[in-house]
Chains A and B, each alone.
Chain A
Amino acid sequence: MGLAVQHTAAMHPRRGRPRTAAERRTALVVASVMTLFVGTVYVVVVLGGAQVLGDPSSPHTVLSILATTVVALSFEPLRARVEHRAARLTNGGRPPPYEVLRGFCDAVAGSYPAEEIPTRMARTLVQGTDAEWAEVWLDVRGRMVRAGSWPAAGDGRGRAPEDPAVLHLGVGYAGGPLGEIRLRPRGGRQLTPVEDRLVTGLAGQAGLVLGEVRLRTALAQRFAELSARAEELRSSRRRLVTAQDDERRRLERDIHDGAQQHLLALTVNLRLAQSLAKRSPERAAEVLAAQAPAARTTVRTVVSLSRGIYPSVLTEQGLPEALAEAAASSGIAVRVDADPVGSCPADVGAALYFTCLEALQNAAKHSGAAEVRVRLAREESAVTLTVEDDGHGFDRVRTRTGTGLANMADRMDAVGGLLEIGASPAGGVRVRARVPLRTGPEA
């Protein structure tokens, strides 16, 4: 199992722990050099000084004090330097773990951007332990996210975490888990106790800074989500505007090709009747007789046009009646089963009505259905419209009635509703639109 022991984030105490061979070697070198140093100072200052003063017989008290002072003042700085050199020599050229750790702490205390810290940490670990790789993972809003790795890895998946040689070290902060450090020692070897202490030490130090990194990561995630949502809203609004413009163009075309032409023909024929009246009263009467039905057709055209714009029955009698009327003029057999919806907001009613209209049009055009069922159900806090047919269903890729579906979805979106399109029990298409009703003082 190697060293794959779960460490705690607490730092090991420095004392009471066996030393490694390298550490023993370092200590030996340091002791030797320092002994040599003390000896040399004594020889130079006390014996050399006595020589200079011309009194070599007995140790001079002042010189002894001077030598001791020199040694006392320069001992610790020198020892540190010697230890550093010795440790490097005995550590295969790499900086010794403690130094690495200190370097990391300095880096953190310095002004590195927080998002670089995990990568810097992974690098510190790799440098300090000669590992193959190291990664820093953070638990961001319930999901483990790789915040940094060394050497840099392209994708976000991480490297074989189930590898038994990989060490996992939990990192916590303020009493809660924060993430973990993953480390794969070179060739799967065990870490030396010093390296082990480096790793656990780093994990212990990491809590505070990684806490900040996690906050920032979570914030960035939230921001990205909100931006995506805003973009979605923007494009939905764009689609709504486009749909509106299309609708206006369609209306203009309908008015131009329908009502306007009918009225024009009426005008022309009335003028014709007028000019015929004197010369050929019978023909004039014939022309006039034909104009009453023509006028009725014109009226019907205008009525159906205005229903397409906004059905008056919806405002006057409510959604169930409007659905019944839409069903009656849909050109396909429709069975309507509508609960009274009570005080349903006007925008919700219109959204459901036009969704139903669109679904009925799709069914009439594409489904080949014999019958369509429309069901309007009022629940405690929502209204649900279901339109299902018994046709051959549709292959979305094939029919690509894209704009119709997007229209319905956008209408639902605009009133906070949800649109689902799926298969009906009869094998046809089921369109389900559900709008939650706002409750509270403003509803």
Chain B
Amino acid sequence: MALRVVLADDNYLVRQGVAALLAEAEDVDVVGVVGEPRALVELVAAEHPDAVLTDIRMPPTFTIEGIEAARRIRAAHPDIGVVVLSQYVEGTYPFELLQDGVAGLGYLLKDRVSDVDELVRALHEVARGGSALDPRVVEGLVARRATEARSPLAVLTEREHEVLQAMATGRNNTAIAKSLFMSERAVEKHIGSVFQKLGVAEEQDVNRRVVAVLTFLEATASA
């Protein structure tokens, strides 16, 4: 059964292009497109899709309307996953989106929209109650922390670094093992080592693991 998706973007060209592109994917059914957040919330209530894809910057203020809409939708319909599209790698937007938890939420950079496979995978992930953070966003967060003089990340090996980033994007152990070309046992070993080195309680549940990693990155990113 195809994934029913609602799409929101204030730019007509982008909205129509992405809708057409998603419609081409076999297991996605675009059930509605809108140009602003209020219409999005209404359409979601009416259509009750499996997943929502929304731009962050939308009218009226062109700031974080998409994030607000995402959190409202998650609060009203916990079974609907939401992926927000952001223009920026930097900034506090991911934390604002994920402050109440990462389950059912995704945060992708906007230029991912042309990578339809990645997009569809993220939509499926959030619809299932998982999370999907753009690897580049996580990379940015980790890199910023790692360059600080007394970074707690300095104690991690290169491999542990990669595993930490993969964890933060919301991948499970199998996916991490596949993307990093290592065995699942090796992944488990690295994860245990990372949590121990960072002094964070080890989490087996993927979503809670993402929260733990992000919380760690945010809490120590005070400088």
Interface positions of A (Cβ within 8 A of B): 253, 256-257, 260-262, 264-265, 267-272, 275-276, 287, 294
Contact = CB atoms under 8 A, between A and B. Distances in A.
B62 A253 contact: yes
A269 B16 CA distance: 9
A275 B24 contact: yes
Interface stretch (B66-74, B111-119, B142-150, B168-176): B111-119
B110 A264 contact: yes
A265 B17 contact: yes
B24 A268 contact: no
A267 to B, nearest CB: 4
B87 A271 contact: no
Nearest to A291: B17
Contact of B14 (A253, A264, A270, A287): A264
Nearest to B17: A268
A261 B57 CA distance: 12
A108 B16 CA distance: 90
Contacts of B14: 261, 264-265, 268
B18 interface: yes
Given A275-B116, A276-B24, A256 B17 contact: no
B116 A271 contact: yes
B180 interface: no
Contacts of A265: 11, 13-14, 16-17
Given A257-B11, A265-B11, A265-B14, A271 B21 contact: yes
Given A267-B111, A268-B114, A294 B62 contact: no
Contacts, number: 50
Contacts of A261: 11, 13-14
A253 B20 CA distance: 26
Binding site of A, secondary structure by majority: helix, strand, loop or mixed?
helix
Interface string B136-160: 0000000000000000000000000
B57 A256 contact: yes
A295 to B, nearest CB: 12
Given A267-B111, A271-B21, A287-B20, 9 more contacts: A256-B87, A261-B14, A264-B17, A264-B110, A264-B111, A265-B14, A265-B16, A268-B21, A268-B114
17 contacts: A257-B11, A260-B87, A261-B13, A265-B11, A265-B13, A265-B14, A265-B16, A265-B17, A267-B113, A267-B114, A268-B17, A269-B17, A269-B20, A270-B114, A272-B24, A275-B24, A287-B20
Interface in B1-36: 11, 13-14, 16-18, 20-21, 24
B17 A272 contact: yes
For the complex of A and B, 6 pairs with smallest distance between CB atoms: A265-B13, A268-B17, A261-B11, A267-B114, A271-B114, A272-B21
B62 A268 contact: no
Interface in B92-138: 110-111, 113-116
A291 to B, nearest CB: 10
Most chain-B Cβ atoms within 10 A of its Cβ — which of A256, A257, A267, A272?
A272
Contacts of A276: 24
Contacts of B57: 256
A270 B11 CA distance: 17
A253 to B, nearest CB: 7
A294 B111 CA distance: 18
A270 B13 CA distance: 12
A272 B62 contact: no
B87 to A, nearest CB: 6
A407 to B, nearest CB: 23
B35 to A, nearest CB: 12
B5 to A, nearest CB: 15
Nearest to A252: B87
Contacts of A264: 11, 14, 17, 110-111, 113-114
Nearest to A294: B13
